[in-house]
Each structure stands twice: as C-alpha cells, then as structure tokens.
Amino acid sequence: MPNHTTDVVVIDAVRTAFGRAGEKGIFWNTRAEDLCIPLLRALISRTPGLSPDMVEDSIWGVTNQIGEQGGTIGRMIPILAEWGWEIPGCSIDRMCASGLTAIGFSTSHIACGMADCLLAGGVEHMGHLPMGYMRDSHPRAEELLGGPSAFNMGMTAENIHDRFPEFTKEMADKYALQSQQKAAEAIVAGKMDDMIVPVEVERADGTKMTADKDQHPRPETTLEGLAKLKTPFREQGGRVTAGNASGLNDGAAVTLLMSREAAEQSGFRPSMRWVATAVAGVDPTIMGTAPVPATEKVLAKAGLTMEDMDIIEINEAFAVQALYFLDRMGLKHDDPRVNKWGGAIAYGHPLAASGPRLVAFMKGLFAENPDARYGLTTMCVGRGQGYSVIWENLRYSQV
C-alpha cells in the first residue's frame, strides 16, 4: 500500500430523471433497485473499455434502508445488473448526504490505495418508503437533539427564519423563483440530456413509457403564486412552503470513480479530480446551517478560499438554508457561480440521490466552462450535519 495519496478522478456521473413521490409519480410502479440498474448499464455503454470486472466495490447511499431499499442494496445492484457475484457492495446512511458520503468514502479508499475503481451512488424511493418510515427514535433523542423540531426538516427551516430574521419569506420566494427559472432554461437548452439515463416504467394503466425528463420542475412558477402558498409547518406566521422548499422525490444517481493512474492506463478521459472532503455538525434544530462549517473546513483542508470556487453546487433543501449559506460565506444571493442550472427546489430532493446529482451537475458544468478550475458541492443533512466536497476541473489546464 502506498505511503502517499493517489489522485482520485471522476470518469462519469449519470442519473435517472427525478420523479414526484406518490401515485402520480413516474416511478410509482418501479422499484428502487430498478432505478439503479439502467445507470450501471449506461456506464458500460458510455465508457468504451470499461468492464464490470474492473469495479472493486459498489458503495451506495440509502437513507431509508428497509423494504426494497434494505438487504444491502449496494451489493444487490451490480448483481441485478447481471455483473456477476464478484463485485462486493454496501449501503451507507447519512440521511440527505448518504450518496455524497458514499462518494466521499470511495474517494478516500482510492486515495489511500485500497482500490482503483469504484461505483459510488445513491438512491431513494420516497414514494414507497417515505422519510422516517418505520423509524424508532431513542426515548432521549428528542431531548438531546434540542426538541421535536429536530425531527421535522420543514420546522428546522422555520427555525432558521426565526433565529435569523434577516432572511425573509419574500427573499426565500425570490430565490425559489430564480431556481425554477434557471432550471427551465437549462432543461430547454438540453443540459440534462447527457446525464439522464432513460428508464422504462409502467404507468398506472399498465402501459409502458420511457422516463427521461424530470417531473418536479415548475417553469410556470411566479412570485405571486409562491406568495399564496400555504405554510404547512406553521400555519400562523410561517415562511416555508412547498414552493420555496425541495420536493419529495424518487430517483437514483451514480458516479464512476478511479485512481488517475488506472484511468490513464485504461485509456479513459477523466473529467474532474477530487480535492478535499469535510463534514461538520451543528444544532440539529437548525440543521440547514451546517454547510457553512463544513465548507469552511473543506476550504481549509484544500488551502483554498470561496473566491477560488468557480462553480458552487448547493443542495437547496430549503431556500432559507441556501440564503444563509450564501450570506455567511460572503456571497450575493444571485451569485452567478451558484446553481447555474437551478437546484433541488426545482428538480427535487430524493435524499441519497441528491449528492451524486450535484456531482453530475458539476461534471457537466466543468465541461462547458473550461475556464473554471475549482468547484464546490455541499449539502445540509438531517440531525444537524453538513457535507462538502471540492473538485478540480481537469479540462482547466488545457485552456
């Protein structure tokens, strides 16, 4: 085993379309595992020279590890994709950042020489397995987490509004509108086409269809419409609505990670290099603030600053959480580096799939912005955590 770290690179990152959770969702009659299988097959077809026997582990983030998402789904996915029995696998739970943690764990494995080629992904079928389904919290959990609001992510967003009243509902609605507008522009421009892998699904009437477009974006959104939405987490004086929060969604995403040396020996052209990872913990009742300390940590580890970040992808669990991050990191609320193609308020947030989705966006944005050198992916996490990763654009040096 080497006594130095190895460069870790992204070969590819793909995802399914994101469907709405529930009976009206495009994946209502599709199992979670069957969202992942087409992604593995797409990696093979998109990467000439890649074969299943090169993959040394299959590491998947899954928040609700029960039912179809239980049974160590990370192990089952390559088997169900008919890649054989030789690829081991595991499942990781860090709630919303489960998939990004799978990527983080995988980069560390490769960096220290334990592997050369790994799958790192995330999947969540929130229609079949809603958030918190069959969870049994410890009797002391509520007390130690700071109160009942720590268990309700919408309430944690309301708490941020309470503690930091400079972030108003009007600001949150304006941010949400911008997310929808940017997503609409990106979709029309075909930015999603290369990363979304089509999945054949069954409709409620038994007919088949190809799911290849995100179901959640609402391009018709207006500020007037957002202002009229109910505030379900607090009827009187609430500020968090379905319009300025991410949705409940079904989806999957995966990255193919390799050591740079192995990638070059195989003739693959990596798109970006892992630079640093950091995780942080905060008061669980304001969990959405955690990307700030996580990002401060990762910048320190990398020896970089926010000014060095040319592209910033933050998972928009709630508009107020994104606003807090931007403000505390010294960025304007409409900074052009942030979520250029829109974020989770528009596309949705299928928990463990969202982290790898951020990486897929980063890959695409790096490809069309060769003048961008560094990028940040960051997320808030239930129970008061934040997770941040910095990447380097390998096309940058060729400018």
Pairing between β-strand 309-314 and β-strand 374-381 as defined by DSSP bridges: parallel
From 109, 125, 216, 349, the catalytic residue? 349
- The H helix count followed by the E strand count for the chain is 12, 12
**Rounded distance between C-alpha atoms, residue 295 and residue 281, angstroms:** 12
Cα–Cα distance measured from residue 89 to residue 192, given in angstroms and rounded to the nearest whole number = 28
Residue burial 218-230, b: 16+ Cβ < 10 Å; e: rest: beebeeeebeeee
* Distance separating alpha carbons of residues 177 and 223, to the nearest angstrom: 7
Query: What single string gives the DSSP state of each residue in 155-221?
Result: HHHHHHHHH-TTS-HHHHHHHHHHHHHHHHHHHHTTTTTTTBPPEEEE-TTS-EEEE-S-S---TT-
Alpha-carbon distance 185 to 165, whole Å?
Answer: 31
CB 77 within 8 A of CB 35: no
Based on the residue annotation, tell me whether 36 is a catalytic residue of this protein. no
Annotated catalytic residue within 36, 96, 117, 161: 96
Nearest Cα residue to 10 out of 371, 380, 314, 358: 358
- Can 349 be counted among the known catalytic residues? yes
Q: What is the H or E stretch that residue 10 is in?
A: strand 8-15
Helix H, strand E, coil C: the string for 66-117 is: CHHHCCCHHHHHHHHCCCCCCCCEEEECECECHHHHHHHHHHHHHHCCCCCE
Supply 250's token pair.
């079904």
Q: What is the DSSP letter of 338?
A: B
Q: 59 has which bridge partners?
A: 90, 120
Active-site position among 125, 161, 216, 380: 380
Q: Based on the residue annotation, tell me whether 117 is a catalytic residue of this protein.
A: no
Of all helices (H) and strands (E), which one includes residue 60? strand 57-61
Q: Annotated active-site positions, please? A: 96, 349, 380
